[in-house]
Structure 1
Amino acid sequence: MATNVDIKDVQAHLAQYQGDRYVDGWAALWDKGGNLPWDKGFPNPALEDVLVQQKGTLGGPIAQDAQGQSYRRKALVPGCGRGVDVLLLASFGYDAYGLEYSAAAVEACRKEEAEEHSWDRVRDQTVGRGKVTFVQGDFFDDAWLQKIGVELNGFDLIYDYTFFCALNPALRPKWALRHTQLLAPSPSGNLICLEFPRHKDPQAPGPPYSSSSSAYMEHLSHPGEEIPYDNGLVKHEPLRGPSKAGLERVAYFQPERTHQIGQGENGVIHDRVSIWRRRN
C-alpha cells in the first residue's frame, strides 16, 4: 500500500540532485511510489475558472487555419504529475499534452485517464473532447517533441502551476527561455501561470520554492538571462526594460478559487494568475 511522503523528506531527497540532475531526483520519487505531497487528486479550480472566464483572451480550443479549416489547438502541461490538468484541458476541447520525465509518472497519468471523474466531463458537446497524449521526456530538450510530432513554437496554450516552483531557482532562466521556444506566436500562444507559493518565506527551503510575482515578471521578461536575487527575493536594480525576446504579461489577477494550499488564514487567496504572450 502506498504511503504518504512528507514534504521535508522530498526536500532532503532532491537536495542530493543538483543542477540538471534535478530530473533524476523527481524520477526517483515517482519510482518509490506513494502519495506525493503536491498531488491533490483534481485540478486547481483556478484553471477551470480561467478557461471559462478568460476565453476572450485565450481564444478557445478551436481555431481556423489560413484555408479556413477548423482544428483543435494544442495545450501543454509540463511536469504534469498525474495528468489531472491535462484531462481538464481536453474536456474543454484542447488537444492536451502532459509531459513528465519519469516513466512511472507517465504510467500514473494513463491510469488516471482511465478513471471516471466529475471534473473532466465534456464542457461543450459541440466542441467535444480533445485528444490526450502523455509523453516521457525532459522539458529542456527536443526529443519528446519529436515523439509526439509537434514543432517548436507549436503550443497554443501552456499551463504552469507547480513546475516553476519545483525547479531550483538557478534553472529559472532556462525555464523562461524554453517557454519562448515552445509557445506559438502571439496572439495564438498563451502561457497561463498560476503563481504559487507567493506567500512562502523566500529563504525557506524548497521545493516548492517561494515564487513571487516579480520573479515571474523578471524571468519571463528576460528569458535566458541571469536575474539577481537577494535573500531569495528578486533584486530590482537597476530597473530595465523587457527584452525583445521576452514574453509580455497580458492579464494578471487574483483567482476567485484555488487549492487550499494557496490560501492563508480565513481563506485569503495568495495565488495569482498571469497570462503571457510572445512579443510581436
Structure 2
Amino acid sequence: MLNEHYWDNRYKNNDIKWDIGYVSTPLKTYFDQLTDKNLKILIPGGGNSYEAEYLHNIGFTEVYVVDVSETALQNIRKRVPTFPSEKLIHQDFFKLEETFDLIIEQTFFCALDPSLRDDYVLKMHQLLKPKGKLVGLLFNFPLTKDGPPFGGSETEYKKRFSPLFDIKIMETSYNSIPQRQGNELFFILQKK
C-alpha cells in the first residue's frame, strides 16, 4: 500500500499532516553548526523538504532529495526555483546507488512499512561514505500497526543500528516543535 501512487496522492491531496511547513528546530540547530558547505548531503523521502531548502539557502552546494512522489519534488521546484533540478531525484530510495557524507532522517523511517527497517539500516550504511553520518529525528512512541507514522523506541533503534553504526548521540530532543515535544529522539550515527 505504501507505494509511489499512495505517496503521490497524499501530496496531490495535501494530506500531509507530518509536514510542518518549515525546517524542524532540531535539524536547523544541527545544520547551523556545520561548516563544510561542500558536504554531499542526502535527504531521503524528503517530501517538500524544507531541510533541503534551508541548506540550499545557507550555501550548501551538494544537497540531494530523493522521493517517490513527483508531486513533492515539483513542490520544491516551484518553491525554490534556484534548487538544482538534477538533485531532486524521483526514485525509490532503496534503488539509489550514490554515496554521501551525510544523510538526514526526517519522518522517512517512520513512514516505511516496519518490515523494511533492517533494509533501511543496511541501505543507509551502503549509501554513506566511510565515516559518513546519519543524523536526524526518530519518533519515540510505541510501534503500532496503524500508520504511517509507525513508532519505535530507543531500545529498538540502538539494537537495529549498532551493528553497522557507532551511536554518537541518541537522546530525547530538547528542542522539538511543540506538537512533537517528548516524542522525538535526536540522533547522530557514524558508519563503522
Band of TM-score, shorter chain: 0.7 to 0.9
1:29 aligns with 2:10: yes
CA contact (8 A) 1:195 1:273 kept: yes
1:38 aligns with 2:18: yes
Structure 1 gaps of 5+ residues are: 1-16, 63-71, 116-129, 146-150, 222-241, 264-268
Cross-structure match for 2:158: 217
CA contact (8 A) 2:27 2:136 kept: no
Q: How far 1:204 moved relative to its partner? A: 5.4
Q: Closer, same or farther in 2 for the Cα pair 1:252/1:202, shift >3 Å?
A: closer
Q: How far 1:35 moved relative to its partner? A: 4.6
1:61 aligns with 2:33: no
Q: How far 1:167 moved relative to its partner? A: 0.7
Cross-structure match for 2:78: 111
What amino acid sits opposite 2:27 in the alignment? L
1:86 aligns with 2:52: yes
SS of 2:26's partner is helix
> Pairwise mapping of residues 112-261 of structure 1 onto structure 2 (< 5 A)?
112-114=79-81, 133-142=87-96, 145=97, 151=98, 154-186=99-131, 189-196=132-139, 198-199=140-141, 201-203=142-144, 205-221=146-162, 242=163, 246-261=164-179
Higher strand proportion: 2
> Which of the numbers 43, 60, 63 marks the counterpart of 1:96?
63
CA contact (8 A) 1:255 1:273 kept: yes
- Number of aligned positions between the proteins: 190
Q: How far 1:261 moved relative to its partner? A: 2.6
In 1, distance between residues paired with 2:166 and 2:138? Answer: 16
In 2, distance between residues paired with 1:136 and 1:174? Answer: 20
Cross-structure match for 1:276: 189
Relative contact order: is structure 1 or structure 2 higher (C-alpha 8 Å, sep ≥ 6)?
A: 2
Q: CA RMSD in A?
A: 2.2
* TM-score, normalisation: structure 2: 0.88
Q: How far 1:131 moved relative to its partner? A: 6.0
Structure 2 gaps of 5+ residues are: none
1:77 aligns with 2:18: no
Q: Percent identity over the alignment?
A: 28
SS of 2:186's partner is strand
Q: How far 1:156 moved relative to its partner? A: 0.9
Q: How far 1:183 moved relative to its partner? A: 0.8
| CA offset digits 1:69-109 (Å, max 9, x no partner) | xxx11111001111211112223433211111121111111
1:49 aligns with 2:29: yes
What amino acid sits opposite 1:43 in the alignment? V
What amino acid sits opposite 2:9 in the alignment? A
SS of 2:100's partner is coil
In 2, distance between residues paired with 1:173 and 1:23? Answer: 21
